[in-house]
Amino acid sequence: MTSSQPNTATSASQSASALSSRPPVTLGQTTHLDPGAYVRGTHAITVGEYDLVHPRAQLVAVHGPLSIGDRCIISEKCIIGGPVRSTSGMSSDPASKTPSAPGSGSNQPSPLINQGGADDADDEERDPMKTVIHDFVYVHPSSHVQAGATIREGVLIESNVTVLANVTVGAHAKICAGVTVDRNVEDWTVVYGNGNMKRPRKRRSAEEDQTELVEMLRLKAMDKEREGTVTLLRAAARTANLAKKK
């Protein structure tokens, strides 16, 4: 069922905005980057094997390179590596946040991140902000992972989540819908409410085996979902191409 990926990458690049530059894209042979996805920026974008990037998802490499691991799902209207806007009143360093800091962990629109000025020439001189998505990450629709963020293995990001620049989300964490993540998240943690409410997914040593079994089954189900969706999207693309030729 694997299609020729160079053609897919070219189609996705051609669908990007005419005003956006086209970054070098490296795709795994088993990955489906939908022709309706948007790819833009000047830095390299690397996507691993058995990934699914839905239509209308955006892979952005404006501030630095973007790397996506294996067996990930990037849903519709997600923006991965998106532009980091600037303001003089905020810091982009999550380590500088305190529990009482305004906007720390919120389901409100994400705050603007200070990049030290809005001059385009300065932007080009800054060190690249690498965005990394590790293996088995599921990003649900309309979620944003800003440039410089790191999402570790097995993370589940629900809809309408914003992960701010330079934040690291630990392995097998779950970010519930509508949360803005402005500080690092530990492994096996659920973040919910206003974003400052957290609980461990593993409570006692006796529960670890059961928790890990449930997580393994979830990842297998995610894999089946990805495979089925890729089949449907490729069939729809073939049907659309045949309709155009008639």
Chain centroid to CA 86: how far? 21
At residue 58, φ and ψ (nearest 5 deg) are -125, 125
Domain total in the chain: 1
Instruction: Report the number of secondary-structure helices (H) and strands (E) in the chain.
Output: 3, 20
pLDDT digits (tens, 9 = 90+) for 148-160: 999 999 999 999 9
Distance CA 93, CA 115 (A): 11
Using CB atoms within 10 Å of the CB of residue 240, give its burial: 0 to 12 exposed, 13 to 18 middle, 19+ buried.
exposed
Using CB atoms within 10 Å of the CB of residue 14, give its burial: 0 to 12 exposed, 13 to 18 middle, 19+ buried.
exposed
What CATH number did the domain enclosing 209 receive?
Answer: 2.160.10.10
Residue 66 pLDDT class (50, 70, 90 cuts)? very high
Cα atoms found within 13 Å of the Cα of residue 124, Cβ hemisphere only: 4
What is the token pair recorded at 160?
Answer: 């309408």
pTM above the 0.85 mark?
A: no
Q: Do residues 131 and 149 lie in contact, with contact meaning Cβ atoms separated by under 8 Å?
A: yes
What is the token pair recorded at 214?
Answer: 């449930």
Using CB atoms within 10 Å of the CB of residue 200, give its burial: 0 to 12 exposed, 13 to 18 middle, 19+ buried.
middle
pLDDT digits (tens, 9 = 90+) for 2-28: 444 444 444 444 443 333 457 799 999
pLDDT digits (tens, 9 = 90+) for 195-212: 777 777 665 666 667 788
Distance CA 86, CA 16 (A): 24
**Residues forming a β-bridge with 40:** 60
Distance CA 224, CA 235 (A): 17
Q: Where are the alpha helices (DSSP H) in the chain?
A: 5-14, 120-125, 208-245
Share of the chain above pLDDT 70, in %: 70
pLDDT digits (tens, 9 = 90+) for 82-138: 977 655 444 444 544 433 333 345 444 333 333 333 344 444 446 789 999 999 999
Neighbouring CB atoms inside 10 A of 40's CB total: 20
What is the token pair recorded at 33?
Answer: 């980057």
Domain that holds residue 223: 5-245
Q: What's the distance, Cα to Cα, between the start and end of the chain in Å?
A: 24
